[in-house]
Structure 1
Amino acid sequence: MMTLAAEIDNSSPEKLLAPVLSAFWDQPDSWTLATYERHEGYQGLKRALAMSPDDLIAYVKESGLRGRGGAGFPTGMKWQFIPQGDGKPHYLVVNADESEPGTCKDIPLLFANPHSLIEGMIIACYAIRSEHAFIYLRGEVVPVLRRLHEAVREAYAAGYLGRNILGSGLNLELTVHAGAGAYICGEETALLDSLEGRRGQPRLRPPFPAVAGLYACPTVVNNVESIASVPAILNRGKEWFTSMGSEKSPGFTLYSLSGHVASPGQYEAPLGITLRQLLDMSGGMRPGHRLKFWTPGGSSTPMFTDEHLDVPLDYEGVGAAGSMLGTKALQCFDETTCVVRAVTRWTEFYAHESCGKCTPCREGTYWLVQLLRDIEAGRGQLSDLDKLNDIADNINGKSFCALGDGAASPIFSSLKYFRAEYEQHITGRACPFDPAKSTAWADNHKEVTA
């Protein structure tokens, strides 16, 4: 199946968009229950409650919905992993600890349309037979925390939460938990430890959360957007959902366009759209500048260049091109950006946020930062480039969690596409993009200042 984006006339770029979760973000009081119900809110829940839990899981599986948190694991399959008849309580935990540089979709969604998440959580809990669900929210976003608390209060008052929901016999308590600002708690097992009151550090697996998660009980951990997408699938049908996107990556999703672009923001479109199409409809790069490099899924995904403008932004397309779709955080950088500086700042973030539990990540990110700082300042040696690659290789795939892999990705990809720029820092003994240290900066800006 071709992507829907490829089938639409590109002369009308606005037709590429598919506003579902963001359909009424711009309306007054979009976050209230009254506004949500005016836009068919909680209709998907009513249809879900008319099905058996097993049929509901099968329906979500058949829709092809994949996790929107980064890995793209099928949502229905994750629900199916929960053992039934085990006599233990089951839990649903929504990961709203959005902390990665460039990733900014879940927080706006919760701020403008929190009831889509709450409805999705009720549906998911019915499917996995859970009576207690948690939202683990990034603690710094206090305005979102307040709106989420109010939305939960409205849902309780309307009978969507609590006991015997809509006369179905389903009982569900929902707890909103604010984290303490640790990036590592975005990793699902570190999140569970934090939710239990312990220090947020990744667990060794197995056992996996589906068998021994929160409080050593079967647990599903899903991303905000994954769960918030479920009500529309139930309300409008799986055929409607699979009519968008590509064969293996169906449906709609939020693309977060940021950086040196004319109109940054959230663009909700079918999976498979390209960055060129998104830039065409958003006004392109900032006036007078051109795209140099970009990330398809946040700073932890291998970077792309302007040669990848037409890569389909779905899981298979981005993977085949050598990166990961991740959280669809499209950070775009123009020709004024120093790649070494950008990678150094990202690596400093990963070194700071490493929990320190495993040696490859704890030691490796530290030494990556030291080397990168020397190279950026013009104090490096050409042999340092092989050291960078070697250290990144000793982190990648060898740490407890994906933080190590995320720290290695910018190193590998930047050396692949911009090794000459690293060498220029070393041989020139300065950053060529620093106007205070190098005349090469002016040469790089002639076409802009002329």
Structure 2
Amino acid sequence: MSADPITPVLTKRWLSPQSWRLSTYEKLEGYTALRKALAGTPEQLVQLIKDAGLRGRGGAGFPAGVKWSFMPPNEDKPHYLVINADEGEPGTCKDIPLMMADPHSLIEGCIIAAYAMRSHHCFIYVRGEALHPIRRLTSAVREAYGAGYLGRDILGTGFDLDITVHAGAGAYICGEETALLDSLEGRRGQPRLKPPFPAAAGLYAAPTTVNNVETIASVPYIVNGGADWFRQMGREKSPGPKIYSISGHVERPGQYEAPLGTTLRELLELCGGMKDGIPLKFWTPGGSSTPLFTAEHLDVPLDFEGAAEAGSMLGTTAVQVFNETVSVPWAVMKWTQFYEHESCGKCTPCREGTYWLAQILERMVEGRGTEEDIDTLLDVCDNILGRSFCALGDGAVSPITSGIKYFRDEFLALCESNKRELVGAKA
């Protein structure tokens, strides 16, 4: 396998006729990595993923091999592998197309990962609204059982694995791994206190590893290509390919696979540039819960370190692009209304804070704001950041604090127009 930076890896089968079928998958190297993996030991596989430097593609970027190594080696309790396919971050659309176009790459990755962690039951938790991917995935799991890739004594190796596809009920909070586990157990989706971490006490209080779809779908390619091949793509601390979801004011929105560390300038070239030639104003590198970037950040390398050094986060590489026609306070208000709606209500800073943030922003966008509102917004954000039970609160304040940082004059303009109206009314 050569690693030409623009050679598709994760998306290479997407355009094949009936790419979701087992027959197509097997023709295109499907399940060859599984045979190779089952011939080795679980320890060798964990080491391979560590050597490859694969990092979690769900947003946090935690090294996958390290996460796998947290699973205890003994099997006095069942070990569970849980796949987080609850793709709910605004602007993110990489896991759903992957499950639609190439579900067997996820299933093969699940079997290899489960073998590496001595797990015999894997759950794939799919967002409830994503009906079509759920059907595709369920059908693919059925095909894999029929071909002997799942079930008892897989490929005569003595390894057993069952996969359960579970449909969520469309709650953004269930993208948080412990809330997802509560939901899987039939409870209301709310984050759990850590520790204990899922590796020690996760699903049904047993050792559990939660991984993102894209992370696990990368595993078969690493097994076949090797750690050195994988490291030829991307950057030293963030190796490998990545699916960037580009939406908004671009000529050709969609999924673009590129090496980690690709810049927005390069991504814009891939998707035909800004729509109608209207200049870029602001954008999100990883969905609405990552701090905004502006046109000054066109050359920031979009990997975990590059985005963080520039003051944001890579997140889920949901690149939302906005041109100069969009009001920043309006966009920030729309995102804040989403977080207010999706807050699970477990902790006070997030439950109350998102409510007040939305109220203030709605009033400002209607032109009824005051200058003090900007300070109040930042003060409420300060009371949420780092004080909420899970990362939803931190994500909710990101667009507000970064929006005010880069576009304070737009927020002030809303207050000044209000001031003029008040003066006019008094006169």
TM-score over 0.5 for the pair: yes
Specify the alignment match of 2:136 in structure 1: 147
Alpha-carbon separation, structure 1, partners of 2:253 and 2:165: 30
1:320-331 aligned at under 5 Å gives the runs 320-331=309-320
Q: 2:202 aligns with which of 206, 213, 236?
A: 213
2:394 is aligned with 1:393: no
SS at match of 1:163: coil
Contact 1:295–1:304 under 8 Å retained in 2: yes
Specify the alignment match of 1:270 in structure 2: 259
1:25-424 aligned at under 5 Å gives the runs 25-424=14-413
CA deviations over 1:82-121 (Å, ceiling 9, x no partner): 1121500000000000011101100000000000000000
CA deviations over 1:402-425 (Å, ceiling 9, x no partner): 100100101110010000000011
Contact 1:377–1:429 under 8 Å retained in 2: no
Alpha-carbon separation, structure 2, partners of 1:357 and 1:230: 35
Alpha-carbon separation, structure 2, partners of 1:341 and 1:166: 56
Q: Which runs of 5+ in 2 are unaligned?
A: 420-427
Contact 2:48–2:226 under 8 Å retained in 1: no
Alpha-carbon separation, structure 2, partners of 1:229 and 1:158: 22
CA deviations over 1:162-193 (Å, ceiling 9, x no partner): 01101111100100000011111110000000
Amino acid in the other structure paired with 1:280: E
Amino acid in the other structure paired with 2:324: E
CA deviations over 1:263-313 (Å, ceiling 9, x no partner): 101110110110001111221000130100000000000000000000001
Specify the alignment match of 2:422 in structure 1: none
Amino acid in the other structure paired with 1:279: L
Specify the alignment match of 1:439 in structure 2: none
Amino acid in the other structure paired with 1:429: N
Q: Which runs of 4+ in 1 moved over 6 A?
A: none
CA deviations over 1:117-168 (Å, ceiling 9, x no partner): 0000000000000000000000111111111110000000000000110111
CA RMSD across the alignment: 1.3
Contact 2:89–2:288 under 8 Å retained in 1: yes
Contact 1:17–1:267 under 8 Å retained in 2: no
Alpha-carbon separation, structure 2, partners of 1:144 and 1:429: 48
Q: 1:301 to 1:18 in 2, by over 3 A?
A: farther
SS at match of 2:387: coil
TM-score by length of 1: 0.92
Contact 2:150–2:162 under 8 Å retained in 1: yes
Amino acid in the other structure paired with 1:340: P
Alpha-carbon separation, structure 2, partners of 1:77 and 1:281: 34
Alpha-carbon separation, structure 1, partners of 2:329 and 2:270: 30
CA deviations over 1:12-42 (Å, ceiling 9, x no partner): xxx7533112112112101001111111011
Report the CA distance between 1:236 and its aligned residue. 1.3
Alpha-carbon separation, structure 2, partners of 1:424 and 1:173: 58
Report the CA distance between 1:429 and its aligned residue. 2.8
Amino acid in the other structure paired with 1:68: R
Contact 1:89–1:218 under 8 Å retained in 2: yes
Amino acid in the other structure paired with 2:161: L
Q: Which runs of 5+ in 1 are unaligned?
A: 6-14, 431-450
SS at match of 1:267: strand
Alpha-carbon separation, structure 1, partners of 2:217 and 2:289: 24
Amino acid in the other structure paired with 1:254: I
Report the CA distance between 1:237 and its aligned residue. 1.2
Alpha-carbon separation, structure 2, partners of 1:103 and 1:67: 15
Alpha-carbon separation, structure 2, partners of 1:223 and 1:142: 19
CA deviations over 1:362-386 (Å, ceiling 9, x no partner): 0000000010011111101101101
Amino acid in the other structure paired with 2:53: G
Alpha-carbon separation, structure 1, partners of 2:18 and 2:301: 35
Contact 1:311–1:318 under 8 Å retained in 2: yes
